Amino acid sequence: MTDRTETIFLPPTGLSAPIASPGDTRRLAVPSPEQRGRYAFAYWPAALCSLLTPHRLNPDAARWTYAARFQPRPGDHERWCDAFGLDAQAAGGAPFLFSQATGTLLYLRLFADLGLNLRHLLHLRHRATHRAAPAAQGLAGQTVSARVAAVHALGSSKAVVQVACTVSDDHGLVLLHVQDDFIVRRYRTGRLDALAQHPAPPFEALRRPKPRWAAGAAPWHTLLDVAPDLSRRYGALSGDANPVHTLPWAARLFGHAEPFLQGLATRTLIVGQLAQDGVCVDQLDLHLCRPVPCGVRLGLSHDGQRFELSDAPGARLYACGRFEAPVR
């Protein structure tokens, strides 16, 4: 992030995908979002069940790896750019997570098996290392794998769940490494006792840092308008249609004043805008400091390594991090 904490990028891509024991791998048949009926049938019963049931914690589930096939589609890049109001040609090479619709269902299954209630789960940190697929292989079939990397106690009633995800081609070449960290709130006292020997590392986002730069004072700065329906659009692309992000009444029902962007929608907003302005990120370390409301104006700043997403006046920080990008 900043000088307050050390940035840690993930292992380089191009290595063989880690091999899990066959007995510890759960292979799922996952529909794509354009199969609307099948995808909704896979997503909504599991999501609603999670939102309405109390937390538990099943440590045995942490040993499983969840895997599913993903098939890229022609026109994915243009669809994602259109949803975020980007120029598809200028933003060429933006590291969008086209496999996220598959990843969403894998994460949903993983969270269900762990016993997590999505209502009390908030995306905290996202790290990614990308490898651009050769043009001839850009639409080849891929495999998405997700597993629990660690679970940390954070006080007596909160935990941090770290999920590792890879996307690899049919030859085992890793195209993407991801680690997503989620804070899980409102555990009953005593439920996390088994995790007491694993204290969580410090998280920049939990400190609610202030922006490094005043409005417009960074070496590079631009203003972004977040569309009022951007979380719904991203939900259609990514499969992450969690009602706290997509339905105003559901957001209020679960204690939020209004819908807010999915964590990975905030990521897409940042990397898409950077790509449109000539910076195509291949390594990213993103701290999600606050939920980003829809329908607001934001400021995005960077100095070639560090970036910040804040409100337009530069007073409230929503996200911060570091990136690396190849020189064009």
The DSSP result for 206-275, as a single string, is GG-PPPSS-TT-SSEEEEEEPPTTHHHHHHHHHS---HHHH-HHHHHHTT-SS-B--HHHHHHHHHHHHH
Q: Cα 238 from chain centroid?
A: 10
- What is the distance between the alpha carbons of residues 134 and 128, in angstroms, rounded to a whole number? 19
For residue range 101-151, list pLDDT tens digits in order.
Answer: 999 999 999 999 988 988 889 899 999 999 865 554 556 789 999 999 888
pTM for the model stands at: 0.89
What architecture does CATH give domain 22-324?
Roll (3.10)
Q: Which residue has the higher pLDDT, 34 or 271?
A: 271
Tokens of 231: 């979380």
Q: How many CB atoms lie within 10 A of CB 132?
A: 13
Look at residue 77 in the predicted model and tell me its pLDDT: 93
Question: pLDDT class for 301, splitting at 50, 70, 90?
Answer: very high
Look at residue 99 in the predicted model and tell me its pLDDT: 94
- What is the distance between the alpha carbons of residues 84 and 199, in angstroms, rounded to a whole number? 38
Contacts of 274 (CB under 8 A, 6+ apart): 94, 280, 281, 300, 302, 307, 323, 325
Domain ranges of the chain: 22-324
Sheet containing strand 220-225, strands side by side: 25-27, 65-70, 142-154, 158-169, 174-184, 121-130, 283-288, 317-324, 306-311, 297-302, 220-225
